[in-house]
Amino acid sequence: MNACIVGFGCIGPVHAISIKHTDCATVYAICDINKKRADKGAEEYGAKAYYDYDECLNDENIDTVHICTPHYLHFEMVKKALEAGKRVVCEKPVTIKKEEFKILLENYDVSKIFPIIQNRTNACIVKMKELISSNDYGKLKGAKGLVTWHRDEGYYNSEDWRGKKETEGGGVLINQSVHTLDLMMLFCGKAKSVEATMKNYSLKGVIEVEDTVDAFIQYENGSTGIFYATNAYADNSSAQLEIEFENARLSYIDRKLFVNGECVCEDGDGFIGKNYWGKGHANTINDFYTGKSKLSLADIKNTMDAMFAIYESAESNKPVNL
Ligand SMILES: NC(=O)c1ccc[n+]([C@@H]2O[C@H](COP(=O)([O-])OP(=O)(O)OC[C@H]3O[C@@H](n4cnc5c(N)ncnc54)[C@H](O)[C@@H]3O)[C@@H](O)[C@H]2O)c1
């Protein structure tokens, strides 16, 4: 398969290394409106450089496009790629608006859209799924997701699209902590209602989006979720996930999985990029090209619905029923 990476800023190169790790795909082209970035990547991978997205979509040799551009561009880019007959690997968030997500779900072949939610492939998360399906832990009571990270003025000023509702779509929720929300949804299922608040504590005058969000989630199966995420912490500490059953507590912290306090799995080393991104890109992209993973847009519906509901509740100051 010939891949084209679109957007070669921070995460585009992680996709390129991940493709290099698979036997089934080649970095055939790199497209970036920043000519220097496209040329540098193309030289490193012996790939073609494109500076215009429409031009690369006209290249019949390209089978798959990897969308690694700013958030607000994803929706149009995904649509155009599908219309050009390509498969799409899309960085989160696939869309920044609820209506856009609905349009993709209802009008396009969702099996051709592979969303990057790489933490689902972390060894501890895979183990967690395995343990939950093979043990009788009793009734699912609830989940806790906690993300305490640090993003400063320098980070937000590094690229023009960051920190703005119009172009990033939100702050710590849609960008940094959606992975942890996704894991809560993976284990607890569909949300029934959401009540949330958000604030900008540490970056007033720098960003117009939230640096902190909290939510109380009621799931259809009767369990409840507590979610808290902030970019206002002093440093990046490990995200935490806890799944609470009648007879067991499964805790994922510091890349280790504990069942009732006993460590049963570790994610291990081997990170590409920043270690707080996790090491899932290589696994996820390999699973896509080998066909091991059939993940599609439909598989992130619960997460996207919850994310949009959290924003709606925080903005309206009211609970939102899904
Ligand atoms: N999954 C993860 O853990 C993870 C981690 C980091 C970033 N991301 C996601 O990856 C995406 C990109 O983030 P980033 O931090 O790499 O951003 P970035 O700003 O560093 O890079 C974006 C690149 O896209 C290019 N670009 C902009 N408009 C373009 C266009 N029309 N055509 C082609 N290229 C264009 C820019 O020149 C830039 O090089 C975002 O969706 C972000 O949320 C995901």
Q: 220-233, pLDDT tens digit by residue?
A: 999 999 999 999 99
Last residue of a domain, one of 115, 134, 152: 115
What's residue 277's pLDDT? 53
- The answer to the question of residue 276 being in a domain is no
- The answer to the question of residue 13 being in a domain is yes
Q: Are residues 140 and 246 in the same domain?
A: yes
- For the chain, what's the residue count? 322
- The answer to the question of residue 279 being in a domain is no
Work out which ligand 1 atom sits closest to the CA atom of 93: 41
Q: Are residues 59 and 125 in the same domain?
A: no
Looking up tokens 């925080």 gives: 314
Whether residue 269 is predicted with pLDDT greater than 80 in this model: the reply is no
- The answer to the question of residue 200 being in a domain is yes
Residue of 4, 6, 11 best suited for mutating to test ligand 1, as the one with most atoms within 8 Å of CB: 11
Last residue of a domain, one of 115, 132, 160: 115
What's residue 80's pLDDT? 98
Residue nearest to atom 8 of ligand 1 (CA): 11
| Ligand 1 within 6 A of CB of 288 | no
Of residues 188, 311, 303, 181, the one with CA closest to residue 244:
188
3-class DSSP state for residue 178? Answer: helix
| Ligand 1 within 6 A of CB of 303 | no
Q: 182-201, pLDDT tens digit by residue?
A: 999 999 999 999 999 999 99
- Which helix (DSSP H) or strand (DSSP E) does residue 102 occupy? helix 98-107
CA 46 to centroid of ligand 1, rounded, Å: 21
| Ligand 1 within 6 A of CB of 277 | yes
Whether residue 64 is predicted with pLDDT greater than 60 in this model: the reply is yes
Last residue of a domain, one of 115, 139, 166: 115
Whether residue 276 is predicted with pLDDT greater than 80 in this model: the reply is no
Confidence of residue 4 (pLDDT cuts 50, 70, 90): very high
Q: Are residues 98 and 180 in the same domain?
A: no
Domain that holds residue 305: 120-269+298-321
Work out which ligand 1 atom sits closest to the CA atom of 159: 19
| Ligand 1 within 6 A of CB of 73 | yes
| Ligand 1 within 6 A of CB of 159 | yes
Percent of the chain surpassing pLDDT 70: 97
Residue of 91, 116, 117, 158 best suited for mutating to test ligand 1, as the one with most atoms within 8 Å of CB: 91
3-class DSSP state for residue 50? Answer: strand
d(CA 177, CA 211): 11
Mean pLDDT of 290-307: 96
| Ligand 1 within 6 A of CB of 286 | no
- Total count of domains within the chain: 2
What's residue 275's pLDDT? 53
Mean pLDDT of 246-262: 97
- With vertex at residue 307, the alpha carbon angle to CA 235 and CA 151, rounded to the nearest 5 degrees, is 20
CA 30 to centroid of ligand 1, rounded, Å: 13
Q: Are residues 65 and 150 in the same domain?
A: no
Work out which ligand 1 atom sits closest to the CA atom of 53: 32
Q: 129-173, pLDDT tens digit by residue?
A: 999 999 999 999 999 999 999 999 999 999 999 999 999 999 999
Domain CATH number, residue 199: 3.30.360.10
| Ligand 1 within 6 A of CB of 91 | yes
Residue 172, both tokens: 């710590």
3-class DSSP state for residue 86? Answer: coil
What's residue 274's pLDDT? 59
- The answer to the question of residue 275 being in a domain is no
Whether residue 272 is predicted with pLDDT greater than 90 in this model: the reply is no
Q: Give the C-alpha distances (Å, rounded to integers) separating 126 from 113, 120, 256.
A: 22, 7, 12
What's residue 280's pLDDT? 86
d(CA 182, CA 126): 14
- The answer to the question of residue 274 being in a domain is no
Q: Are residues 135 and 247 in the same domain?
A: yes
Mean pLDDT of 262-276: 76
Mean pLDDT of 288-308: 96
d(CA 79, CA 99): 14
Which residues touch 266 (CB under 8 Å, ≥6 apart)? Answer: 123, 124, 255, 256, 257
Q: Are residues 179 and 88 in the same domain?
A: no
Domain CATH number, residue 27: 3.40.50.720
Give yes or no for a contact between 3 and 42, defined as CB atoms under 8 angstroms apart.
no
Mean pLDDT of 297-304: 97
What's residue 273's pLDDT? 59
